[in-house]
Amino acid sequence: MTKTKSMSVRQRLRVRLTEGPMIVAPGIYDAYGARFVEQAGFDTVYMTGNGVSASLLGRPDVGLIDLTLIASHAHRVASCVDIPLICDADTGHGNAVNVRRTVEEFESAGVAAIHIEDQVAPKRCGHLPGSRPVVSMEEHAGKIEAAVAARRDPDFLIIARTDAASGLGLAEAIRRGQAYRKAGADVVFVELKTSPTILEDMTRVTSEIDAPCMVNIDGGGKLGGLTASEIEKLGFRLAIYPGLERYAAGYAVRAALDALKRDGTTAAVRERMLTMKEYNDVLGLPEVEAWEKKYLLIDKP
């Protein structure tokens, strides 16, 4: 694999699209979660719009997060880790003119890649029940062209997402993916829901679209049960797991609250909670203390 020590996080992500094993990007919604991902040894992290909507607004993913809110949040997340951050940019937050500013904001935030979908605004999470209305293929191709033209760093990745499969069929989704690649997308993301034909659908996507392909592993069923190696064998180069932090954290918090309400103490779940030391280690407190010792007049004569 190409040496990456001297590369920027964006360059490292671009190299990984074609070299080494498939990229596995666990999903987070905050800087705390991003640190866990990096410390677990993953080389890429994904920030989910669904999770950001839940964590910042306490609301579902139905298009309530605006550009300023998510871009400023992304800046804080990107600045606390040294691995590439991929972000959900919804529909690009408007038309081709708005997409230009969307790219500028995420690029300035230090994000390595964004995905822009062809849903009609206001969007809804692709894994909610029902199909998703989409704009015309020509309109979204224009937005992808605008996104590519707007970036200042050529290594900032533009991922084109289509939600057409659920309402218009897989063939149309593949046709759109091909058009978005032609428009300049670095990666193509066909949103798929689990179904009896999901393995065949996934194989069609990667064999018929001449581009690195990304897949969303967020639900259960056959799709959610696939291992990373099995997904890679189907031809994908990037797999995101958007629900990982929000589902795991939500389960753990609810269990701890139930114990406290029931018992008046968290003793029953203490073994499934971090200690104060473990918590501070995740946040990098030892590094801060070393910095203080070196540069502040602490314990110095």
The catalytic residue positions are: 46, 61, 88, 90, 115, 117, 125, 161, 191, 216
Residue type, 181: R
Q: How would you classify the pairing of strands 187-190 and 213-216?
A: parallel
Task: Give the single-character DSSP code of 119.
Answer: B
Nearest-10 crossing angle of helices 137-150, 170-182:
30
Closest among 53, 153, 67 to 113, alpha carbons compared: 153
Long-range (24+ apart) CB contacts under 8 A made by 36-41 are: 36/245, 36/282, 37/81, 37/83, 38/81, 38/82, 38/83, 39/282
What are the structure tokens assigned to 276, written together?
A: 């104060």
Cβ contacts of residue 275 below 8 Å, gap of 6+?
none
What are the structure tokens assigned to 179, written together?
A: 């058009």
Asked if residue 53 lies in contact with residue 61, where contact means CB atoms within 8 angstroms, the answer is yes
Dihedral sign, Cα of residue 215, residue 216, residue 221, residue 227: positive
The residues facing 114 across adjacent strands are: 87, 158
Cα gap 38→84, rounded to integer Å? 10
What spatial distance separates the first Cα and last Cα of the chain, rounded to whole Å?
50
Cα gap 221→49, rounded to integer Å? 22
CA atoms within 13 A on the CB side of 284: 13
